Amino acid sequence: MGDSQKFHLGTIGALSLSVVSSVSIVICNKALISTLGFTFATTLTSWHLLVTFCSLHIALWMKFFEHKPFDASSVMGFGILNGISIGLLNLSLGFNSVGFYQMTKLAIIPCTVLLETLFFRKKFSRSVQFSLTILILGVGVATVTDLQLNALGSFLSLLAVLTTCVAQIMTNTIQKKFKVSSTQLLYQSCPYQAITLFIVGPFLDGLLTNQNVFAFAYTPQVLFFIVLSCLISVSVNFSTFLVIGKTSAVTYQVLGHLKTCLVLAFGYILLRDPFSWRNILGILIAVVGMVLYSYYCTLDSQRKANEGSQQLPQTKESEADPLLGVENGSGMLGEDSKVPVWNSNKDLHA
């Protein structure tokens, strides 16, 4: 099996793990929050990250992966930023209507595309942009109901979108820049994310729910679902870093909207949630957008591969006679020919 085939199988496995684990944890958390009344989402997320770190520490002790320390300031900044983005998303939900919160999540894709285009010189073909537009339209039709605006909620949503985009782009670029695996990055950043959310979590949850997480009545049933949610979160956090590392932040957001559609479908089938023709139409439009996105990314990937194979013989020919290369001005790279270290076109492998 060639390297290309192994890469694509690994990507498919990461995408599948992310979908299954994310849908599972949403169903589990819905039972915990809606049925059992445990509404402390930010504090619960800090417990998720703490359990994830402990699980990875055990995996490291059993030598399932190798610890690779790298720039401590980058890890700390990345971990804290991730924790802040989670807290801001929860605040956005608390201070906005559900419909406006869904619009906030939809805004992450175009914002990510804009940031990667401006700062990383990443190019998205018109076809890929068109497919993303269809996807966003479909998810919007399926999930957005009301749009009640307020100044504070809008400001929090803007901060949530920006921090989430930057954090997810950093997940990809840090892995490439420091040549670390998704597991190594998650292991080192988890403590900072967990500490950030553990400090601000009880305060944010108290602000949004007017309840104290430490005064909650922890029945055996509540404890069971908390433990189950924490165990599933290990897979969710691992697959998130794995998917972004193998593809890109945009592809991860596309996958996230697929999960949204699946959660709506499972909610109707398993939990008998209300479902309308608008939901069905939106999901169908979103699926069309996802299929087109995958198709166009595959075409772009093949085109890039063909261009690379055509340029390879020319490179070898110039390497065979270094003097000739110098005479033709190709013996060294000029300042204008430098490629940014953090530039990534991994979307083409989705």
How far is 123 from 346, CA to CA, in rounded Å?
11
Give residue 329's pLDDT: 39
Give residue 336's pLDDT: 39
Give residue 153's pLDDT: 86
Give residue 190's pLDDT: 94
Q: What is Dmax (Cα atoms) for the chain?
A: 79
Q: Which residues contact 250 (CB under 8 A, 6 or more apart)?
A: 109, 112, 113, 116, 124, 132, 347
If you search the block for the tokens 């402990």, which residue do you land on? 54
| Local confidence pLDDT in tens for the 350 residues of the chain | 555 565 567 778 878 888 888 888 888 988 898 889 999 999 999 999 999 999 999 999 998 889 999 899 999 999 999 999 999 988 888 888 777 887 888 899 999 999 999 988 888 889 999 999 999 998 888 877 766 767 888 899 999 999 999 999 999 999 999 999 989 999 999 999 999 999 999 999 999 889 999 999 999 999 999 999 999 999 999 988 888 888 788 888 888 888 778 777 776 676 666 667 888 888 889 889 888 988 888 888 788 777 766 665 554 444 444 333 333 333 333 333 333 333 334 333 33
If you search the block for the tokens 């995408």, which residue do you land on? 15
If you search the block for the tokens 């699980």, which residue do you land on? 55
Give residue 316's pLDDT: 47
Beta carbons of 229 and 32 less than 8 angstroms apart: yes
Q: Which residues contact 105 (CB under 8 A, 6 or more apart)?
A: 256
Query: Helix axis angle, 126-143 relative to 249-271, nearest 10°?
Result: 30
How far is 290 from 293, CA to CA, in rounded Å?
5
